[in-house]
Structure 1
């Protein structure tokens, strides 16, 4: 199926990302294409690649210096004269610095040279392309025949991770890429109503001629590796290929991305997660992007369809079609990054705090708390565990006494290991309202800005970016209408939350098993010891076969449980979810050890090819303990299954 059946324009098409994008466009059905560059030989090479893929493709080669506005305007004019219009534009043309120095020492001439191409040149291109597209009629592509999703055109600008953050000693380049981000966002704001989508891709390190040039410069000036050491080693363990960035540009240009506009798409192998874990939080900008793509709302299960007005779910899936398997896929894919703290820090509150609201909140509470949560306007957490009370929820000591006028509950106590507690705006807090044991527990919606609440950051072995928090509650007044469900019936709410949490932990642990296995397997194939690849040693191959033997049966069990999760009574499903949690976490403990053995010293380093395995080794214990310790759950499983056997 073709996804690009219109007319394309690509600058910087003589090599690297631009060349790869031109080839990708043709592969996806674009048969009329303008390619522009300052290298005639580079354009000839690109045309040869295109013709070898599809000899019928019409290619217009143009030698263009994008820093010259007249040349850019002529490029757009010739494209329209030749092909009739421009449907997709990708602005790749750019240069890097010729030398490296401190920002205070840079010569203004070098700044102007870089800025004239990367910033001014991109501005000239975007202006000319928008002006051409505004005069066109909206098109509906053949692969998505929906008039509502028609567009006059799509523009993708190539920025950089340097446009979001900064790296040392290349100030002109950093400033120019920040300008690309600003230009993209400004045009997106101003021209969205013209039905012209404008986005940017922010690559990290990409194996292109520009990167080779930069590395030669680094060696020359004696600061080789500055960028890698600053942004962190990608968890994928390598730089990007130009074709991977090209595929991102192709997707953003197509109608499949018809609701993505004004976005900065990070294509950097996810070094961000390592940085976020190190700094202890996910930046607000990235959280907002996560929300805008629908991932936060989708983390609440069961999905509160009546509260989703205006929210687009991932992949454009209709809310009425979102089921338990979509939920499991989202959990699995979130964990693929290998950094559990980031996953919990960005999605954990919605998963554990949103689900009880979706099931037990009344309509007024849903409108006041659930709807804002789904849109990222509120951030929620779950406060159950106490300093001396973990899995034994019935032993809870935090109290909630009715005020004399009956308008409030007064909360006193302490809560511990509260995920997202540092930045949450609200919490679901369990407290004792009645007699001893499970039957005297209730759950409340608590505004965390209320007087009497003190939050303290907790320092744990892993999951540093999860926002783990210690909370003191001292005479905290909670409105009586913030009682969730029925007084003294909170134990049921907590147990239903634990059941899905245990399924969630099981799915997450399984994916982390695969992440560790994947990274160590790639390492074993390329790492040479005693003149041969590490994988050629029988003892190493046996490790992989044993690890696969742990993962695959548990995967089948997990998928069967996902299917049964909405088709089985809670009484029957709860012990099975606990069993999955115990088994998957136990597997991860073993696989974490074995994959670190495969990596050797690299598996003990927080950077490099073994970074994700090292991180998993610090995160694994929280999966074993959270949601109920292994010993308590195994006892509960045995008792529950015995009880079920008598039914």
Structure 2
């Protein structure tokens, strides 16, 4: 039981070297910490802080170890949300999760699935994400194994044959009933960890690197590689981009020629900005060959060297520069036809821009939920909405998400709460509008994915997905900038509650990230504007697809 103090007792400790404060009915001894406080000793020595109830002045004490007791007769009014619970702040969650709102898309099973996924994220992914994002190390094998036990890795690839026979989330959803909305939920909930680099380091390379193997690898290759990747024993990434070419896939310069006996490919060249590349065992590599452009699965071994690339976000993503120096791969590792690599890559892009592609029960290829990586980027971007509209709340050593609206109600300027200022309310209105429009567009495309064949998706959704990806990342950048203005200096500070705003994580709009993620967006949102295709390239793709569908008799 915590030691109890009266306000009179606390008030006597009001000098440098002997400094206590009360925050939310809890008593903290800041005597030794005062010299390390980011705001300086003067802030804590203020007569309205030292020895006083400083609840209004402090957002939330960050160090539970400094608590020495509680105030007699008072209880804490700010409670940590239970793992898996929803935020009650308006617009911090997508409308389908809010009491009184209805959705034509989500079923009761989707709702139960969301609860269990969020519990897992809150209990296991979030805590590790905060550590790894900071120290730059890769995801732990312990967390990978925990995810494997629930078949997270398989579910992140969307619906398909690869789920057959698996027990998903302890049997909560049957493999044949798992759809793109389940995948959407999975991606958006994972994005709530608020750590952009770690989010990609959480085997995002597999999400885009394994589908080509699933869809175009030989039965022998799939039987050997797919199980060990889905079980978290081996790791895979997609190695396409080079210093010379990114969105221009046909401009790639890495070469592959056959050995004299014709049994092996000999690969030479470099790849750059490859997510998870530093710790992967397999590389799905785009190469120039005699017949054109070919995709080959290359295993780590002699002739394969990976080096980390320092980027704006955490090294925990495993972003790599890869050198292939006479690296060898069996010809049986060819994915699809020799010279047919463009079809392999293009079949993957909707999912990369939306979600991975996997063959459905009919044997046709279907892009996975959220419509892929771009849809994963979208889902995450949408997911960070809770981050933009929310900020990190430190309680019992764990960060929880609070919306930016709470901050604007709590923070006072010119003698009034921030939200009393019309300019602040206008920023909040714009942030909410971007979040809601992105989320609803995302849900509509996901619904189309559930009801279209692959051929229909390619003809009707590629442009929409491209537009959504560009729109979402553009919205994210604007929202991140707004969040920094709302948070002021805290929005560019890497410690305390402002760290989420400064970090500006993974995607701007998902269920619990708007303001929190917003901050993270400020530094790392540029990644989403590039991954899966640069914004300008995707906008042009969308327009060109629309122009191809223009009726010939259209006249004013």
**TM-score, reference length from structure 1:** 0.59
- Find 1:491's aligned residue among 342, 349, 358: 342
Partner of 1:342: 198
C-alpha separation in 1, matches of 2:150 and 2:318: 22
Alignment RMSD, CA only? 3.4
Contact 1:303 1:358 in 2 (8 A): no
C-alpha separation in 1, matches of 2:190 and 2:121: 17
Partner of 1:525: 409
The answer to whether 1:317 aligns with 2:168 is no
Output aligned runs, 1:364-513, within 5 Å: 364-434=220-290, 440-448=292-300, 450-502=301-353, 503-513=375-385
Partner of 1:598: 486
The answer to whether 1:613 aligns with 2:506 is no
Partner of 1:49: none
1 or 2 for the larger relative contact order (CA 8 Å, sep ≥6)? 2
- 1:496, distance to aligned residue in structure 2 (A): 1.9
Partner of 2:82: 244
C-alpha separation in 2, matches of 1:391 and 1:277: 28
- 1:606, distance to aligned residue in structure 2 (A): 1.6
- 1:240, distance to aligned residue in structure 2 (A): 8.4
C-alpha separation in 1, matches of 2:37 and 2:82: 23
Q: Give the number of equivalent residue pairs.
A: 418
C-alpha separation in 2, matches of 1:316 and 1:445: 34
C-alpha separation in 2, matches of 1:641 and 1:398: 33
Contact 1:427 1:446 in 2 (8 A): yes
Partner of 1:634: 539
- 1:266, distance to aligned residue in structure 2 (A): 6.8
Contact 2:197 2:313 in 1 (8 A): yes
Compare the two structures and name the one with the higher helix fraction.
Answer: 1
SS of the equivalent of 1:443 reads: strand
Contact 1:299 1:347 in 2 (8 A): no
Contact 2:275 2:317 in 1 (8 A): yes
- Find 1:575's aligned residue among 459, 463, 477: 463
- 1:547, distance to aligned residue in structure 2 (A): 1.7
Distance change in 2, residues 1:470/1:221 (3 Å): closer
**TM-score, reference length from structure 2:** 0.69
The answer to whether 1:333 aligns with 2:189 is yes
Contact 1:420 1:468 in 2 (8 A): yes
- 1:320, distance to aligned residue in structure 2 (A): 0.9
SS of the equivalent of 1:460 reads: coil
SS of the equivalent of 1:446 reads: strand
Distance change in 2, residues 1:467/1:269 (3 Å): closer
Contact 1:422 1:468 in 2 (8 A): yes
Partner of 2:219: 363
C-alpha separation in 2, matches of 1:314 and 1:350: 22
SS of the equivalent of 1:441 reads: strand
- 1:291, distance to aligned residue in structure 2 (A): 2.4
Contact 1:409 1:479 in 2 (8 A): yes
SS of the equivalent of 2:279 reads: coil
C-alpha separation in 2, matches of 1:491 and 1:360: 12
Output aligned runs, 1:584-595, within 5 Å: 584-595=472-483
- The CA deviation string for residues 190-218 of structure 1, in whole angstroms up to 9 with x for no partner, is xxxxxxxxxxxxxxxxx999xx58x45x6
C-alpha separation in 2, matches of 1:466 and 1:425: 15
